[in-house]
Amino acid sequence: MKKYFVLSLLLVLFSCKQKEGTQVELNLIPKPNNTEFGKGNLNISSGFNAVTKNIDTESAEILLTFLKNSVTISPSGKKLQLVMENPSELPAPHESYMLTVNSDGVLISASSEAGLFYGIQSLLQMVENRTSIPFVKIEDAPRFSYRGAMIDCSRHFVSLDFLKKQIDLMAYYKLNRFHWHLTDGPGWRIEIKKYPELTGIAAWRTHATWKEWWDSERIYLPEGTPGAYGGYYTQDEARELVCYAAERHITVIPEIEMPGHSEEVLAVYPHLSCTGKPYTSSEFCIGNDQTFEFLENVLTEVIDIFPSEFIHVGGDEASREHWKKCPECQARIKAEGLKDEAGLQSYLIKRIEKFLNSKGRKLLGWDEILDGGLAPDATVMSWRGEQGGITAAQSGHDAVMTPGEFCYFDAYQANPGTQPEAIGGFLPIEKVYSYDPVPAALSAEEAKHILGVQANLWAEYIPTEQHVEYMLYPRLLALAEVAWTQPGNKSWTDFRTRVNSAIPVLQQKGYNPFTLSNEVDFSHDTDSVENAITVTLSTEKAPADIRYTTDGSLPDAQSPVYSGPVQVPDSVIVTAQLFDGEKPSGPAVTRRFDYHKAIGKPVFYNIPVNPYYAAGGEKALVNGLTGGLSHGDGRWQGFMTNGMDVTIDLGSTQSVYSVNARFMQSIGPWIWFPKEVVIAVSDDNKMFTELSRIKNSVSEKEAGTLFQNFGWQGAARGRYIRYKAIANGIKGGWVFLDEIVVW
């Protein structure tokens, strides 16, 4: 204990010394890749006297306008020089810049307007709420050329002004791609002059929230119908956004979904579906040439609005069921010598790619565009994990990494019990920050195909603009640093300090960020101590006291202050809360720990756990920790379709009196109780004796979040416990359980 104390004292002293005049004072996000501090500070209380060199008049005016909006420009201010250096001598993208602060003033130099713009953003962050800035020399360039954010404007519509406000912040944090999800079943959002029904009907629906609409008949209404919810962007508005973003060095990439996620199109143009009837399909008929005529006409108008090199064509989550039964689709498969329906989908993507290429554009699509064979020049957006990006890069294609586990900002960012309803999953800011977009599987040569990284904000459960900001920030700041800063220059603890300073600034500017957690984090260890679990508590907010109880009551000013790992034997409920002196300053967070005899024992997965819901790995089912109300809280293990089947090795043959596991049912995210559970025991891991077979009696339609124990009690002997849960057979359904408790 004493040793720890001395060590932590040293750490405190060391970190204080480190902080003196360093990055912590600059608070830049993303962290620059090269910073050298000088001795002294520049007083900027009378503003800046800005001069430009080698910059054309129009560009200089735009850059100075950005400065004027945030700092005082006055002849009596400190000298601020913006200098364009030899643009032709450096390879694209010219996004690097140099920023020097010394007694002469500030010098920002770059070989491109983008570089100068980023230098200005760094300066604006440095001067935020200050009257002096430290002498410093920054030489900075991004790690990735593609640094993106996607907003889904189909599920819920947001105003153009709101999007401009988000573009402002993206630019401030040096992001440079806005992926605009403009079309999807819940509403078409971009004016297409040739097809007026897209915005006249398919942009309007019966219910304001996606959830209510999804649970209803999913009907579209003519624009102007009283109560109709929706909206769209006119072509002029879209051009205005493109221009606004371009001034901020952000490219707007439009997404037009095909062949799936197209219910809204097929409701108004049913002849483009395999059935020919409205409200029957979400996929275009690929056998029908009119589908291509429609898509190419739409893309022609889209290309005219958006100068972006990439046009995103969706490509995700298409059902192939209608194509299997459609004579025209089958005829296309035959005529083109395609292998199957995956080949048919690939045919559409390849044909659309040819069209885009003929217009000088490149196709970008979700990783399903790999199925059935990738189009020759396509770029893959890897969302179902990293494999899409890996496959693309290994076959010489470019990829943008957006794996759900790290980049889907529609997931909860804190304890779901404290948050507005989200689609599920758990993505705290620290996890976003931890992401490295270059998969370890790639060679250095292959890694060059990783263009960058993007955050995706799907909006099923995000009905208001305020809520969009709440889900985006501050996680987008973490993503900005992932995209810009070299891994060796990143540090979570350092970032946490900077992001904690950035949050009040965002609030001052009128944004609605989630505030970094004042919740207590739990971690625990079951390996090192016999018959006990060691619980460690921590917090993002320091300094603050954590008080805790172990009897289920809420902590108060008399509860012990946490001072180091606590051993909790047997069954204990730990409730912990941040305190500012005597007063609670955060929500109470509760975890239940159950000691039992399978704790920490080896578990063999006869069916693999889904990597998205591994809850930390192979000890998750025997770690003594019970899951919370959300399947995505990192304490539940999830298994898809085939159910689960594990064998636990108790280490020696012994008496066994009970085996229990708790399952979740939550039909929104497709989680059902198992159809049946089988519990068996064995001495040799070969011959098993069945102890119990328990059938589920809860309806698959039962809504809400339900929990049920499936267990056995009795007297048996054995070394190996096999616990098998058979999924209920609903296609794509999940089985979730948190712990297998053995006594």
Q: What would you report as the CA-atom Rg of the chain, rounded to the nearest whole angstrom?
A: 28
Query: Coil, helix or strand for 123?
Result: helix
SS (H, E, C) 483-517: HHCCHHHCCHHHHHHHHHHHHHHHHHCCCCCCCCC
Helices (H), 326-378: 327-335, 341-358
Q: Which is nearer to ligand ACM, 316 or 700 (CB)?
A: 316
* Angle between helix 235-247 and 160-172 (nearest 10): 20
Taking the complex as a whole, how short is the minimal distance between the CB of residue 381 and ligand ACM, in angstroms?
A: 8
Identify the active-site residue in 94, 261, 312, 631. 261
Q: Which is nearer to ligand ACM, 85 or 316 (CB)?
A: 316
Give yes or no: 397 in active site.
no
Q: Which is nearer to ligand ACM, 366 or 734 (CB)?
A: 366
Taking the complex as a whole, how short is the minimal distance between the CB of residue 366 and ligand ACM, in angstroms?
A: 4
Cα–Cα distance measured from residue 737 to residue 673, given in angstroms and rounded to the nearest whole number: 9
Q: Which residue has the tokens 């360093």?
A: 22
Report how many residues bind ligand ACM under the rule CB under 6 A: 4
Instruction: Mark 343-382 with x for binding to ligand ACM (rule: CB under 6 A) and - for no binding.
Output: -----------------------x----------------
Taking the complex as a whole, how short is the minimal distance between the CB of residue 402 and ligand ACM, in angstroms?
A: 8
Identify the active-site residue in 95, 113, 140, 184. 184
Taking the complex as a whole, how short is the minimal distance between the CB of residue 631 and ligand ACM, in angstroms?
A: 18
Considering only 117, 188, 213, 383, the residue that binds ligand ACM (CB under 6 A) is 383
Q: Which is nearer to ligand ACM, 366 or 522 (CB)?
A: 366
Taking the complex as a whole, how short is the minimal distance between the CB of residue 435 and ligand ACM, in angstroms?
A: 17
Query: Does 521 engage in binding with ligand ACM (CB under 6 A)?
Result: no
Taking the complex as a whole, how short is the minimal distance between the CB of residue 208 and ligand ACM, in angstroms?
A: 23
What distances in angstroms separate CA 185 from CA 258, 447, 732, one per listed residue? Answer: 11, 35, 20
Range 312-331, binding ligand ACM (CB under 6 A): 316-317
Cα–Cα distance measured from residue 498 to residue 30, given in angstroms and rounded to the nearest whole number: 10
Find the angle CA(473)-CA(475)-CA(476) to the nearest 5 degrees. 75
Cα–Cα distance measured from residue 588 to residue 579, given in angstroms and rounded to the nearest whole number: 10
Find the angle CA(491)-CA(493)-CA(497) to the nearest 5 degrees. 115
Give yes or no: 184 in active site.
yes
Identify the active-site residue in 223, 237, 317, 436. 317
Closest residue to ligand ACM in the complex (CB): 316
Give yes or no: 421 in active site.
no
Q: Which is nearer to ligand ACM, 237 or 317 (CB)?
A: 317
Closest CA to 276 of 286, 263, 285, 287: 285
Q: How many residues does the chain have?
A: 743
Closest CA to 478 of 431, 414, 514: 431
Q: Which is nearer to ligand ACM, 154 or 518 (CB)?
A: 154
Q: Which residue has the tokens 């912590």?
A: 24
What are residue 549's DSSP bridge partners?
A: 575
Taking the complex as a whole, how short is the minimal distance between the CB of residue 380 and ligand ACM, in angstroms?
A: 12
Taking the complex as a whole, how short is the minimal distance between the CB of residue 374 and ligand ACM, in angstroms?
A: 16
User: Would you say 169 and 511 are in contact if contact means Cβ atoms under 8 Å apart?
Assistant: yes
Helices (H), 82-189: 113-127, 160-172
Range 122-161, binding ligand ACM (CB under 6 A): none
Q: Which is nearer to ligand ACM, 75 or 611 (CB)?
A: 611
Buried b (16+ CB within 10 A) or exposed e, 656-673: bebbbbbbbbbbbbebbb
Q: Which residue has the tokens 């102007």?
A: 224
Q: Which is nearer to ligand ACM, 184 or 197 (CB)?
A: 184
Query: Does 548 engage in binding with ligand ACM (CB under 6 A)?
Result: no
Tell me which residues are annotated as active site.
Answer: 184, 261, 317
| Binding site residues, ligand ACM, CB under 6 A | 316-317, 366, 383
